[in-house]
Chain A
Amino acid sequence: MAIMNKKDFLDFLKQNILVLDGATGTELQKRGMPNGVCPESWAIENPDVIVDIQKDYINAGANAVYTCTFGGNRIKLSEFGLGDKVVEINRKLAQLSRKAVGENGFVGGDLAPTGQFVRPFGDMPFEEAVDIYKEQVKGLLEGGVDFFVIETMMDIQEARAALLAVKESCDLPVCVSMTFDENGRTLTGTDPVSALIILQNLGADVVGCNCSTGPEDMIKIIRSMKPYAKVPLLAKPNAGLPRLIDGKTQFDMESEEFGSYIREFIEAGVNLLGGCCGTSPLYIAQIRKNINGLIPIPPEPKEICAVASARKTVFVDANEPVVVVGERINPSGKKKLQEELRQGMTSLVRQFAIEQVEKGANILDVNVGMPGIDEKETMVKVIELLSSMSDAPLCLDSSSPEVLEAALRIYPGRALINSISAEKVKLEKLLPIAAKYGAAFILLPLNDAGVPKSGKERCHIVEEVFNEALKFGYTKKDIIVDGLVMTVSADQEAALETLNVIEWCTNNFGCGTIVGLSNVSFGMPERAWINSAFLAMAIGYGLTMAILNPSSDTLMSIKMASDVLKAKDKNSKKYIEYFAALVSDKPVIPEKKDTASPVEKIYESVVKGDRENVRKFIDIALKDGIEPSVIVDKHLIPAITHVGDLYDKKEYFLPQLIQSAETMKEAFGILEPLLEKESEGEKNSKVGVVLATVKGDIHDIGKNIVGLMLKNYGFEVYDLGKDVSAEEIVKKVKETKAPIIGLSALMTTTMLEMKEVVNLVRKEGLSAKVMIGGAVVNADYAKEIGADGYSEDAYAAVKLASKLSET
């Protein structure tokens, strides 16, 4: 076979199962390659060995071999000091493969993981990854490969980088083969369908999987891909499962057993089949033997629109529930978000993403356009964040082609673009960009003349834009038409025109539709009703997507109900799930008559940790003439004592204890000045505690909690902070005459410092008692260093301090 073009390759696949080779690395080892050497370099130094291996594969029945360039990228070769010889090594190895297969087979230029992780998941910039692969592609092209295979990819983003590198370098066919574990996910969490959707839309001519699993698990992966595959599928399973025996990786499946799976692979939809780790020419001979008489099943993908994140695919179709696009990540009208984005912060973006998905958004719209920021830089940053923290696919929303291109390039998924219209500039600039990255897009039926008033004219624009998109390989299932919602307060026919567009797209044209809702009610009172009614009507007319704020319970409830009524929600499952919380709500308990007295409410506030209301109840009690000392002694102290008991019994846990203690502090803060008055100016003397995290230790969160609790229980706390020397502590004790010292240390190395403090306190003849705490100390250690006590937590510290202050 001579060097072929893409058409020849794809034509071959239409008629034939293409048999690929098996493992190369293990064959090289069997034939003398020592451990620890660079396989690429060794193969060049021993050309007969690699040529013989590849000839053996061809003789066993393979139609194609992969070049021995699995580690032929700059990063891998640099580990052997060969980073500057990438092109030369790849060229030579491709030439050797060419020589091995002669006229009898194809040569696939092999690209594999760099071993580093690409952003957003790892730290390697995306363009660096693309450049690394381009360098390897150059060498392989010079060596005369017939097609490319990007194999054993563990991260979809790295696979995308390699695919773009090939596509930006040549027009040869390119196969992308991911590796999925037994749970059907790649190392970075991509499922087979999402990988397929992303890669086939980005331009892979073949998609598939290799390595990680044996035939049985791999057949399941192929089966899951097949219904959505527009391209032929590839599989290269391992010879079973790996074990490390005497320092060598071995596999547990013999060639005959391997051969018994071949028919199943073909019936599942595989068009290119070979072997991975642990296989040899014997295994490939089994494939050749068992495919005899079998023909490939051509791709017959479901006609459905799919967008995908790196970990999840969302389908948009008339038979699927209406897809909700969360609209909140958009700075327009949101001052706080604007401020954050200007400062380069992203906490609100995170919050909006999590909240919207929790409330039912399937896709997140991302718009960061506003004055005063670099939109491109911000967009890239936000996409990197969202694509690593959320599984929801993204809808990239910008009017700038430059921003959209930057976003599409680094987005590790198949995005939806918001939006492309018939405006000349948009069509000319955006359509090629969208097509290059395989994005689906929202079609806005307006042109340079503006928004046509009638639905009919808008439908005409839809056809016009689609005809342009066809030239780039788009189908009707790759576009979603925005019905363009105009306000009914200006033109009462406006909503009907939008509904006409939706109906036409659904019943005549055959594509999905989307609306943004709020515009329809602009200028009207009680807008929520109009928005809700419009959503229900639009769904009735066939709407498949809606851009809305999923926090709106009314809109979401109407969407869920409409999905049931339109039979989109099979067995009403999602509806029942959505409303399960409400259905299972407890019966309404009649409100208890409020008969509690103000002091009972004060007690209750402390027990419940109700900081907000305790002040109000104290004011009422004081107005009722109750003495401050009575409130403290008869109500506050018993309340906090009760809280302590609850904590001891574990009925309360730490946040509840602290909340009650804070409420106590709040109450005490109000009453303290009055108590002083009551006792005719005699100042209530509090017990002092000098508190510190010892020298060398910087952990003070635990110590701060102890300080807070001591304060709330009426101690005077002198908190010296962290990393405090024995001398400073002693100085403070002398100055304040505090009878108690509290020391904290979290590490074994710093707990020793506690002894220094105890020694100095004793040496200086101070009577202060020393109590200690922290993760690494205990009662025995307290005893050993001569401290007066140990407490295991903040409440125990309060009790210990009380005890020590009495002795």
Chain B
Amino acid sequence: MEKYRGLKFFEHIPATPDKGMILTRLGYKKTTTVMDDDYRKNLMENISKGLMLCNTKGVFGTFDIINRDEESVELENGVTLKSRSLSKLLSNSMDVVLMASTVGKDIVDRIVDEIKNKDAAFGVILDAVASETADAALDWMVDFINKMIRREGKKLTGMRYSPGYGDLPLSNQKLIFDVLNLERLGINITERFMLVPEKSVIAIAGVEGVGYNE
């Protein structure tokens, strides 16, 4: 277990996604989409049911940047992330935070079952809730880490990056999957580097100093 030392696991992340974001993901337009009060009430109840099905967990670890050039970033744990745009994002960073979150298997199984066999409209609502909750969990962790490192005059980069994003190949999911010991959160990875359960996400952010004008 020595290689996983320094990882911080969260068994219950109290992240609640913004309901507006869930609706937007479902194609809702505030000024255009029409629904009556009963429908809205039912929709909100379904969103709440989705939130209850999420078992949101997460993990993060902080790693020194050993070397950085225009093409890639090398971390203390031997991981090298090859991406020009990620390297640019990390240009003022001394450390990198690798993180992951998942909403668990229950809600993903339920989404599939509802869409295939039961109430597909409910299924797509659950789908949106699960996606937004996994993202909200990352937001929550970013906020958490920011509060933690603010005491040292540091903060995380405003943007976070993910494998499969821009020029950072998806294959990096496997490197980060191993580093973060994601099996411990009940996550698996396929040969083509996809996370299972589906609503699981990995992200990368840099640690940089807080300037005088911030």
Residues of A within 8 A of B (CB): 78-79, 115-117, 119-123, 154, 179, 181, 187, 189, 211-212, 238, 242-245, 247, 249-250, 277, 347, 350-351, 354, 384-385, 388-389, 609, 646-647, 649-656, 658-659, 662, 696-701, 704-705, 708, 747-750, 793
Bound form: Cα–Cα A655–B150 in Å: 42
The answer to whether B170 touches A747, judged by C-beta atoms less than 8 angstroms apart, is: yes
Q: Once the chains are docked, how many angstroms separate the CA of A120 from the CA of B10?
A: 8
A696 touches B33 (CB 8 A): no
Given that A354-B48, A650-B29, A701-B127 are known contacts, is A656 also in contact with B35, CB under 8 Å in the complex?
Answer: yes
Which of A646, A658, A747 has a CB less than 8 Å from the CB of B164?
A: A747
> Does B111 touch A at the CB level, under 8 Å?
yes
Question: Are the CB atoms of A696 and B191 closer together than 8 Å?
Answer: yes
Chain B nearest CB: distance from A807 CB in Å?
A: 28
A122-B11 in contact given A154-B148, A650-B27, A653-B33 (Cβ < 8 Å): yes
Cα A181 to Cα B196 with chains together (Å): 36
Question: What B residues does A654 contact at CB under 8 A?
Answer: 26-27, 124
Q: What string of 1s and 0s marks CB contacts (under 8 Å) between B17-57 and chain A?
A: 00000010011110011110001000100001000110000
Q: Cα distance A123–B181 when bound, in Å?
A: 13
CA distance A388 to B13 in the complex (A): 8
B112 on the interface (CB 8 Å rule)? yes
Given contacts A122-B9, A653-B29, A749 and B121 within 8 Å (CB-CB):
no
Q: How far is the CB of A355 from chain B (nearest CB, A)?
A: 9
B35: chain A residues at CB < 8 Å are 656
Nearest residue, chain B, Cβ from A387: B12
Q: Are B116 and A704 in contact (CB under 8 A)?
A: yes
Contact of B12 among A121, A351, A697, A748 (CB under 8 A): A121
Flag if B194 contacts A698 (CB, 8 Å).
Answer: yes
Which chain A positions have C-beta within 8 A of B170?
Answer: 747-749
Asked if A652 and B34 sit within 8 Å, CB to CB, the answer is yes
The reply to whether B164 and A181 contact each other, CB–CB distance below 8 Å, is no
Given A650-B29, A653-B26, A699-B198, A749 and B210 contact (CB-CB distance below 8 Å): no
Q: Is the CB of B120 within 8 A of A389?
A: no
| B interface with A by C-beta (< 8 Å) | 5-6, 8-12, 14, 23, 26-29, 32-35, 39, 43, 48, 52-53, 94, 106, 111-112, 115-116, 119-125, 127, 144, 147-148, 150-154, 164, 169-171, 184, 190-194, 196, 198, 208-212
**Inter-subunit contact B115/A122 (CB<8 Å):** no
Complex CA distance for A379 and B47, rounded to whole angstroms: 28
State which of A211, A242, A701 has its C-beta within 8 Å of the C-beta of B210. Answer: A242
Q: List B contacts of A385 (CB < 8 A).
A: 12
Are B198 and A705 neighbours in the complex by a CB distance under 8 Å? no
List 20 additional A-B contacts (Cβ < 8 Å) besides A697-B192, A698-B190: A116-B8, A121-B12, A123-B10, A123-B184, A179-B151, A187-B144, A211-B151, A244-B210, A247-B94, A249-B152, A250-B153, A384-B11, A658-B121, A658-B124, A662-B120, A696-B191, A701-B112, A708-B120, A749-B171, A749-B193
Instruction: Say how far B149's CB is from chain A's closest CB, in angstroms.
Output: 10
Q: In the complex, are the beta carbons of A388 and B14 less than 8 A apart? A: yes
Residues of B within 8 A of A653 (CB): 23, 26-29, 33
B151 contacts which chain A residues (CB < 8 A)?
179, 211-212, 238, 242, 277
Q: Which of A117, A243, A699 contacts B209 (CB 8 A)?
A: A243
How many angstroms between the C-alpha atoms of A116 and B59 in the bound complex?
11
Which residues of B sit under 8 angstroms from A354, Cβ to Cβ?
A: 48, 52
Chain B residues lying within 8 Å of A658, measured Cβ to Cβ, are 120-121, 124
A247 CA / B93 CA spacing, docked (Å): 11
Q: Are B94 and A705 in contact (CB under 8 A)?
A: no
User: How far apart sit A119 and B35, CA to CA, in the bound complex (Å)?
Assistant: 43
Q: Known A249-B153, A651-B33, A698-B196; judge A119-B48 contact (CB<8 A).
A: no
Q: Which residues of A contact B32 (CB under 8 A)?
A: 649-651
**Once the chains bind, are A347 and B53 in contact (CB under 8 Å)?**
yes
Query: Quick one: closest A residue to B39, CB to CB?
Result: A656
Residue on B nearest A655 in the bound complex, by CB: B121
Name the residue of chain A whose CB is nearest to the CB of B32: A650
CB–CB A749/B192 < 8 A: yes
Identify the interface centre among B12, B154, B210: most chain A CB within 10 Å of its CB.
B12
Cα distance A179–B6 in the bound complex, in angstroms: 21
Q: Which 3 A-B pairs rank lowest in CB-CB distance, beginning with the nearest?
A: A244-B209, A388-B12, A242-B153
Residue picked from B5, B35, B192, most chain A C-beta under 10 Å? B192
Which residues on B sit within 8 Å (CB–CB) of A701? 111-112, 115, 123, 127, 198
| Given A653-B26, A696-B191, A701-B112, A117-B121 contact (CB < 8 Å) | no
Cβ of A650: which chain B residues have Cβ within 8 Å of it?
A: 27, 29, 32-33
What is the CB-to-nearest-CB distance from A553 to chain B, in angstroms, rounded to a whole number? 16
Which among B26, B148, B152, B192 is the interface contact of A655 at CB below 8 angstroms?
Answer: B26
**Docked complex Cα distance between A503 and B191 (Å):** 71
Given contacts A120-B12, A354-B52, A699-B194, contact A244 B152 (CB under 8 A): yes
- Complexed CA–CA distance, A391 and B191 (Å): 41
- Chain B residues whose C-beta falls within 8 Å of the C-beta of A350 in the assembled complex: 52
**Among candidates B11, B194, B209, residue contacting A747 with C-beta atoms closer than 8 Å:** B194
Interchain CA distance A652-B150 in the complex, whole Å? 44
Find chain A residues with CB under 8 A from B11 CB: 119-123, 384, 388
Q: How far is the CA of A123 from the CA of B57 in the complex (A)?
A: 10
A189 to B34, CA, bound (A): 38
Query: Please, which residue of chain B has its CB at the minimum distance from the CB of A704?
Result: B115
Specify the chain A residue showing the minimal Cβ separation from B108: A701
Specify which chain B residues have a CB less than 8 angstroms from the CB of A117 in the assembled complex: 8-10
Smallest beta-carbon distance B198→chain A, Å: 6
Q: Are B152 and A652 in contact (CB under 8 A)?
A: no
Q: Are B5 and A79 in contact (CB under 8 A)?
A: yes
Q: Could you name 25 residue pairs across A and B whose Cβ atoms are closer than 8 Å?
A: A79-B6, A123-B11, A179-B151, A181-B147, A242-B150, A243-B153, A243-B211, A244-B208, A354-B48, A384-B11, A388-B11, A389-B14, A647-B27, A650-B33, A652-B33, A653-B26, A656-B35, A658-B120, A662-B121, A698-B196, A700-B112, A747-B164, A747-B170, A747-B192, A749-B171
Partner of B192, one of A154, A651, A696, A700: A696
| Chain A residues with CB below 8 A from B147, complex form | 181, 187
Smallest CB gap from B51: residue in A? A354
* Nearest-CB residue, chain B, relative to A391: B14
Report yes or no: A655 in contact with B153, Cβ–Cβ below 8 A.
no
Residues in A neighbouring B211, C-beta threshold 8 A = 243
Q: Which chain B residues border A388 with CB–CB below 8 Å?
A: 11-12, 14
Chain A residue nearest in CB terms to B165 = A748
| A651 to B34 CA separation, bound complex (whole angstroms) | 5
CB neighbours of A181 from chain B (8 A): 147, 150
Can you name the residue of chain A whose Cβ is closest to the Cβ of B16?
A: A389
Bound CA span A228–B12, Å: 30
CB distance from A115 to the nearest CB of B (A): 8
User: Are A697 and B27 also in contact (CB < 8 A) when A652-B33, A658-B124, A749-B164 are?
Assistant: no
With a CB–CB cut-off of 8 A, which chain B residues contact A656?
Answer: 33, 35, 39, 121
B193 to chain A: which residues have CB within 8 Å? Answer: 747, 749
Please measure, in the bound complex, the distance between the C-alpha atom of A609 and the C-alpha atom of B36, giving whole angstroms: 12
Contacts A242-B152, A654-B26, A698-B198 given: A347-B121 contact, CB under 8 Å?
no
B43 contacts which chain A residues (CB < 8 A)? 655
B127 to chain A: which residues have CB within 8 Å?
701
Give Cα A111 to B141, complex, Å. Answer: 25
Minimum CB–CB distance for A756 against chain B, Å:
14
* Smallest CB separation, A696 vs chain B (Å): 4
B191 and A705 contacting across the interface, CB-CB below 8 Å: no
A243 and B212: CB pair below 8 A? yes
| CB of B92 to closest CB in A, whole Å | 10
Asked if residues A347 and B52 are in contact (CB atoms below 8 Å), the reply is yes
**A351 cross-chain contacts in B, Cβ below 8 A:** 52
Residues of B close to A748: CB separation below 8 A: 164, 170
Q: Which residues of A are found within 8 Å of B210, using beta-carbon distances?
A: 242-244
- Chain A residues, Cβ within 8 Å of B12: 120-121, 384-385, 388-389
User: CA–CA, A655 to B169, complex, Å?
Assistant: 33
Residues of B within 8 A of A187 (CB): 144, 147-148
* Interface contact A655-B124, CB-CB below 8 Å: yes
